[in-house]
Structure 1
Amino acid sequence: MLRTHHWAPALVFVLVSTLSADRPQPHFGKVVEAGHMLAPRSGHTATLLNDGRVLIVGGMVRNGEFLDSAEFYDPAKRSFTASGAHMKIKRVGQTAALLKDGRLFIVGGWTGGIATTAEIYDPKTDRFTNEIPMTVPRARATATTLQDGRVLVTGGARADDRSGQKAAEIFDPATMKFTAVGDMKDGRTAHTATLLHDRTVLIAGGMSDHHSVASAEVFDPKTNKFSVVGPMRQERYKHTAQMLADGRVLIAGGSDDRDWKGMLAEAEVYDPAKRSFTPTQEMAEKRFKLSDEAALLPDGSVLIAGGAAKAEIFDPKRGSFNSLNSGTETPQWYLSETTLKNGEVLLLGGYSTSMTATDKAWIYQP
């Protein structure tokens, strides 16, 4: 007679569970402390230069205490050294773009009022040169180096950080002059600008007249005109963006009109082929006051840090976020996030609940 063993399914379950537990879990890397900058900074810029060093410029220690100083981070020595250079004026909330010839373009920001000029840093001389007048004052604008070497500058605060303007202009390094181009559809400040594979620029979100916007548009350098795309699924500003390896763009975090009470975990992806946005999984944490650009990692995933104590990784293949067990220990708002040539990511400064900037540095190791 054949006997039925009712315990067999339970045994199979135990075996499967044990095998699952023994499988190696994915490793998403970690954030470790990396020393201290020479000055505490938030709202600064940190740009990877062609020689592999990072130039850190400006920012503020606390409200009203702005910086004109600059310093280097050297990944080979894992140390910070002072630059002999100082900007012509103290700036916070300025924007930086690396020019084709290796010089660094710094534009706008708050200077006590709203900045009316840009400056150029030359690594060959370790000096900031010129104060180049813009067509309009702007703070927390975007600056995008186009394929032809010109720089597109869009939006920015015109009175306060909730009053974004429509005006855009082009800086030409050959002539060292700005030229106004057509206005955007919406006023924007604390928005994002992403250079796409087809050489156009995606402009997304921001704050207009005291209202965050969900609108997006694309700038075409061939015509110097903007065309409407999208809109996004979520109104947002002070968010972050990063183009993925396949040409799509991840937009994540930020806040709505309510700022601290309206912080967002929502994320979405822009598809240039469809000129539309699709929601993706939410982040593990609500975050705002982020770097304009998140960090693209060597494997195609994206690191998002700042605005929360722990960092997280976006996996574009699965459309999901994975929270790390490490980060900046406390939330850091307006820290910088810079991908190094070795694939690590340098995280610098920002301010936390004390409302005073830190000089701390961290490295994300994939």
Structure 2
Amino acid sequence: MLKFRRAFSLAASLLIALPIVTSGCAKEEQGSVDRVRLRVFSVKTDSVDQDPYQGVGLMRVAVNRASQLISDEFFTFDKSLGRSLDDIPFGANLQVTIEGWSAVTDPKSGALTPSQLLSRGRSARFTMAEGGDAITLQIPMSRLSTFAYTSQVGTSTGATATSLARGRFGHTVTRLYDGRVLITGGLAFKEGHQGDFTNANQLSELYRDAELYDPRSGAFLPTGNLASARAFHAATYLPPTVTCPNPSGSPATCMAPQGLVVISGGLSSTGGAAQSANSIEVYDPVAGTFQTVASATLGEGRSGHTSTLLDSNGFVLLAGGFSVKGDGALAASGTGEVFCLDGLACSASSTGAGIIFTDNMVQSRAFHTADRVDLGPRGIAGQELVEAVVLIGGESDDEVRATTEVFLLKGGFKKVDVASLPTMGPESARRPRTRHTATYVDPQKFIHVVGGFANKAHSKTVQQIDSFDVQTQAFQAGTAFFSVEGRGAHAAVLMDRNAVLLLGGFAQGAVIDAEAGVYGPGVPLASAELIFERKDPNDGKTYIDRGSVGSLLKPRGGAMGLFLENNTAIVIGGVDATSRFQTAGEFFNPL
């Protein structure tokens, strides 16, 4: 039986634009205290157009437990009005959503009815236990389909924008088990550098510090330092629960420490010169520390590689990447290896822990993409799915790759039957790409391959979108599908409702010699766009489309993006046109 008591208090402070005070259930114990306090506030804005309360006539407050809606109420917007949320059950995975709607007046009743959704804010997911301590959650409100500054409640001056302690490029961002975001490493460019990274001589400094972004407070906070400075390294999250081998055949559960993060390779400094590291570190989010894994050394140093979690036992595939030549040029790797961390289920198997498998790739490649998928048709008797990692594009020492290969969990690296990206248009030109993104949308069974550069100078962008069908193991043929704008070294974030957010990156450089294909350095972009599903009202079919969304507040080349549990996407790091680092955090609030 569900138990109820005073559940929420959306309490006002000097900074809260909307003070909503809640009571609780009808049979509340006398003298009971508020269990959850929500601080609702407007994010830091630069203009009236960004004000989340501009044009709002009605507010909606909804409470969900997982995907179940357990409370839903509209009320007239008034900054001094209190409201009551009754009969909210105790439990885990609770989340509060607050929306701002424009309103129209019903001509007969005179009542306000909702017209258009304008703004939204969501709390982090939380647990409310009977007898537990009271908690305070913040709900930042922002306009929909726009970017806003990461913000926290300040003093009487209002909400303040929050920022990284330092700007970063070639860094990693990883969502932890508790919703926080780990940001590690990165590099600084030499004075006057423009465009993307293409040579180790372009960098002036490598970073070993790390930070945490806490969406519950909106703040960026320091954490432990990496053992070694790293840029273009890889970070892979290991879920807390892994499946352990059990001789009896019955499933068992091993509890790994709370969601460790494996940090592998990356540009590091050796004797003052940048070289690709062959070491691995592990971040413990509970202790807030990094520790080098002494028992595991990579077969070769690698940066710009991919790191892919293969299964729940903790096996991680490290593929490709680059080392650094004497002149700073990048030498692509043609090998891959599988790593397993001591103490996880894989170390209990016959293979043991550490580097447990190595293999040659079909082709050397760096700055490629890797997606863990199950290949093959669904629902066909006798057809087994093949567990695999699909590697697409990237670059070798001499060229940008237009090829695809797969790593089979039982069989190593194999060439895909369709070795090249598909051809579109009368010229039937191959489409090489590097520093692109490839986002797997599981319900669609498509990997959407977007953008990237077509040349080693990272100055000519690719505008076509290619979709790899994991069921047919081939790229989709047909009508050309283009992004709104060509971009490389951008970020792609898988959002709710199978949408993919594309943001920032570098635009194609100015043409210097069209015949020779020479372009100037790429210019950082502030634009963003969305690949999304739409249902055609005429034929009832669902189509995949793309369109522009609100622009970033700052142009960002090389930024990283990540989906958060409040259904927004955070944007971290990157550089502007003068290689000035962007320290301010931003987030996108979708429709």
Identify the TM-score tier after normalising by the shorter chain.
Answer: 0.5 to 0.7
Equivalent position to 2:265, from 194, 205, 217: 205
SS where residue 242 of structure 1 aligns?
A: strand
Greater relative contact order (CA < 8 Å, ≥ 6 in sequence): 1
Specify the alignment match of 1:251 in structure 2.
318
> Cα gap change, 1:140/1:261 in structure 2, threshold over 3 Å: closer, same or farther?
closer
Specify the alignment match of 1:303 in structure 2.
390
SS where residue 139 of structure 1 aligns?
A: coil
The alignment covers a number of residue pairs equal to: 247
Question: In structure 1, how many angstroms separate the alpha carbons of the residues matched to 2:465 and 2:323?
Answer: 29
Structure 1 position 132 matched with structure 2 position 162: yes
What amino acid is aligned across from residue 354 of structure 2 in structure 1? S
Specify the alignment match of 2:83 in structure 1.
none
What amino acid is aligned across from residue 147 of structure 1 in structure 2? Y
Specify the alignment match of 2:539 in structure 1.
none
Q: Is the 8 A contact 2:124 2:216 kept in 1?
A: no
Equivalent position to 1:340, from 414, 422, 441: 441
Specify the alignment match of 2:453 in structure 1.
351
Q: Deviations over 1:107-165 (max 9, x none)?
A: xxxxxxxxxxxxxx999711111153101221121000001000000001134554431
Equivalent position to 1:281, from 359, 382, 390: 359
Structure 1 position 269 matched with structure 2 position 269: no
> Cα gap change, 1:151/1:249 in structure 2, threshold over 3 Å: closer, same or farther?
same
Structure 1 position 237 matched with structure 2 position 256: no
> Cα gap change, 1:168/1:311 in structure 2, threshold over 3 Å: closer, same or farther?
same
Structure 1 position 223 matched with structure 2 position 287: yes
* RMSD value, Cα: 2.4
Regions of 4+ moved over 4 Å: 121-124
Question: In structure 1, how many angstroms separate the alpha carbons of the residues matched to 2:276 and 2:449?
Answer: 27
Q: What is the deviation of 1:272? A: 1.9
> Cα gap change, 1:333/1:260 in structure 2, threshold over 3 Å: closer, same or farther?
farther
Q: Is the 8 A contact 1:164 1:206 kept in 2?
A: no
Q: What is the deviation of 1:276? A: 1.6
Specify the alignment match of 2:408 in structure 1.
315
Q: Deviations over 1:205-257 (max 9, x none)?
A: 11023111111100011101111112211101011111002420101011101
Percent of aligned pairs with the same amino acid = 26
Specify the alignment match of 1:68 in structure 2.
none
Question: In structure 2, how many angstroms separate the alpha carbons of the residues matched to 1:318 and 1:122?
Answer: 50
> Cα gap change, 1:100/1:139 in structure 2, threshold over 3 Å: closer, same or farther?
farther
* TM-score computed with the length of structure 1 as normaliser: 0.63
Structure 1 position 145 matched with structure 2 position 175: yes
* TM-score computed with the length of structure 2 as normaliser: 0.40
SS where residue 322 of structure 1 aligns?
A: strand
Q: What is the deviation of 1:278? A: 3.2
SS where residue 301 of structure 1 aligns?
A: strand
What amino acid is aligned across from residue 157 of structure 1 in structure 2? L
> Cα gap change, 1:238/1:133 in structure 2, threshold over 3 Å: closer, same or farther?
same
Question: In structure 1, how many angstroms separate the alpha carbons of the residues matched to 2:279 and 2:142?
Answer: 38
> Cα gap change, 1:123/1:283 in structure 2, threshold over 3 Å: closer, same or farther?
farther
Question: In structure 1, how many angstroms separate the alpha carbons of the residues matched to 2:218 and 2:420?
Answer: 41
Question: In structure 2, how many angstroms separate the alpha carbons of the residues matched to 1:100 and 1:320?
Answer: 41
Equivalent position to 1:172, from 206, 214, 217: 214
SS where residue 262 of structure 1 aligns?
A: strand
What amino acid is aligned across from residue 151 of structure 1 in structure 2? V
Q: Is the 8 A contact 1:140 1:190 kept in 2?
A: yes
Q: Is the 8 A contact 2:278 2:299 kept in 1?
A: yes
Question: In structure 1, how many angstroms separate the alpha carbons of the residues matched to 2:354 and 2:453?
Answer: 34
Could you list the runs of 5+ residues in structure 2 that have no partner in the other structure? 1-122, 126-139, 150-160, 191-196, 198-202, 241-258, 348-352, 375-385, 395-400, 422-429, 471-591
> Cα gap change, 1:316/1:123 in structure 2, threshold over 3 Å: closer, same or farther?
farther
Q: Deviations over 1:2-59 (max 9, x none)?
A: xxxxxxxxxxxxxxxxxxxxxxxxxxxxxxxxxxxxxxxxxxxxxxxxxxxxxxxxxx
Question: In structure 1, how many angstroms separate the alpha carbons of the residues matched to 2:233 and 2:215?
Answer: 24
> Cα gap change, 1:100/1:154 in structure 2, threshold over 3 Å: closer, same or farther?
farther
What amino acid is aligned across from residue 387 of structure 2 in structure 1? G
Q: What is the deviation of 1:260? A: 5.3
What amino acid is aligned across from residue 165 of structure 1 in structure 2? Y
What amino acid is aligned across from residue 290 of structure 1 in structure 2? H
Could you list the runs of 5+ residues in structure 1 that have no partner in the other structure? 1-98, 102-120
Q: Is the 8 A contact 2:142 2:148 kept in 1?
A: no
